[in-house]
Amino acid sequence: MRGVKFSKSPLLSERLPLWRQRLVLALLLLGFVVLVGRSLFLQGINNEFLGDKGRARYERVIDISATRGRITDRHGDVLAISTPVRSIWAIPEDASLTPAQSRDLAQLLEMDVRELNRKLASERDFVYVKRQLPPELADKVSAMKLAGIHQKNEYRRYYPSGDVTAHMLGFTGIEDNGQEGVELAFNELLSGKPGSRRVIKDRRGNVVEDVESVRPPLEGKDIVLALDAKIQYLAYTHLRRAIEENKAKAGGVVVLDARTGEILALVNLPTYNPNNRGKLIGAQLRNRALTDTYEPGSTMKPFIAALALEKGKVRFDTPINTAPGKMTIGTATIHDAHMHGVLTVAQVIQKSSNVGISKMALSMKPEEMWTMFDSIGFGMPLKLGFPGEVGGRLRPAKNWRPIEQATMSYGHGISVTLMQMARAYQAFARDGDLTPISLTRMDTPPTNVKQIFSAQTAREVRAMLEMAVQPGGTAPKAQIPGYRVAGKTGTSHKLEGGAYANKYVASFTGFAPVSDPRLIVAVMVDEPSNGRHFGGDVSAPVFAQVMAGALRTLGVAPDAPLKPLATDMPPVTEEM
């Protein structure tokens, strides 16, 4: 067959059997029908699978951040607000920067170039380069037009009052969620709910088309606090001065509205700036008014006197013999700083006699004292929602020995927080009842009031506490020109390692004006070490300064003649 052309090959002249022609044609037609049917099925009937696969390659659902609600004081002054910022992120696979570009970007972002290169060398699909940049700085990064480097709109919390309101407000984390204080207590309400939208992105992650809004964001709600920014600043200023003058370790001030239970001020020192938390330590973060307990010392005595009055054990003028200035119970001896002889019940509070108050306490059953302490709220948290809030220490009455019952009457063997003590004095500032404590502004008077003592008992103890700040009492430095003031000092040794150390907590809790109590101020100074450690010397002046400024801020009318304060007599030394 050499030399024969392929087109002339005799094999091509052979005819195929007719059945083979028809079979091949039928198979081709069948295949065509199958393809057409499959195409119709996928595109017209069951098109979700391929549609989902296709959209997965270019469509994305991205979150839309909800703006966090503002926090304001009771008058509308902004205390916390979210400001727009931008975060720089990258797709490492696409971010092929030259050494010069890496250096310029690192310098602009104030980063180490090695850290930047490490992030861009990651095998992940997405990395944050730098979070929460000011928009003007982010614009400079954008102007560099670097491949694989992108930006994302976010929010950052800003606190105009800085360290003055730090412990009250707390702060948010990098994701704008509450971490401390009011920010955490009301996080769900403040946060709102993020929305989402569907977009088309190219392979580099750039949005090329906004398709639709899937869910609009639900913006966070604003919170109006009970706090008064002016009173807060007063408390902060005078507490700081007292800490410095007395070379103290720490301190706290709480200001309550006696009528409503609203927290008008809450200050702790040391404090911190929530706008710059780069070098925070635990001591700065502690909200001492709610998380630290202390033995209240003589500020506890009015409650024992009130209970004794309530139980009919004594009257306002019942005489109690405190001579010879000491009292032995078992193997322990209770001392007064001075021998007073016979004192009335009112004078026991005025002079702060340990012997006198111990005799009143021992005239009652331990269970009666425990029930009173429990009804006031000692031994349990106030449940304000603050992180780390504690309830203090109140042991079961069945375990009390007589000496323990006696020492508890003047504030040893029991521990409280400053906020608990401020709230407890509502029972004397009001007519023997307590209201719940409120972080937020109240527009209507509280209705869930808890009666602790009778109105008559509350008025009698109020008169005793007014005597305590007058000449012959323990706290003449708590007096305020033009206002009648009532309150009680407290000085207690600190417990360290199960034993009392030569360190003190000086405190004062009181209210004004006595004729119609409006405010309660509780002051605690921890470890004063500049030669003075009594509550009447260290904490009472802070009370007077804060209370005077707060009453004037609120426009409370004076209830006493403006005359020189009677402080010429030295204060009676407190018993510890």
Question: Active-site residues: which are they?
Answer: 298
DSSP assignment of 352-419 equals: T-HHHHHHHHHTS-HHHHHHHHHHHTTTS----S-TT----B---GGG--HHHHHHHHTT-S-BB-HH
| Rounded-to-integer distance, Cα 37 and Cα 459, Å | 95
Helices (H) and strands (E) in the chain, counts: 21, 19
Asked if residue 297 lies in contact with residue 574, where contact means CB atoms within 8 angstroms, the answer is yes
| Rounded-to-integer distance, Cα 118 and Cα 95, Å | 12
Entry field: residues in the chain: 576
Q: Reply yes or no: is the peptide bond before residue 381 cis, omega within 30 of 0.
A: no
Helix, coil or strand: residue 502: strand
Retrieve residue 464's tokens.
Answer: 């005793």
Asked if residue 94 lies in contact with residue 147, where contact means CB atoms within 8 angstroms, the answer is yes
Cα distances (Å, whole numbers) of residue 87 to 100, 130, 209, 384: 22, 6, 21, 34
Residue among 516, 507, 517 at smallest CA distance from 478: 507
- Report the largest interatomic distance among the alpha carbons of the chain, rounded to a whole angstrom: 149
**DSSP alpha helices (H): ranges in 246-325?**
282-285, 288-291, 301-310
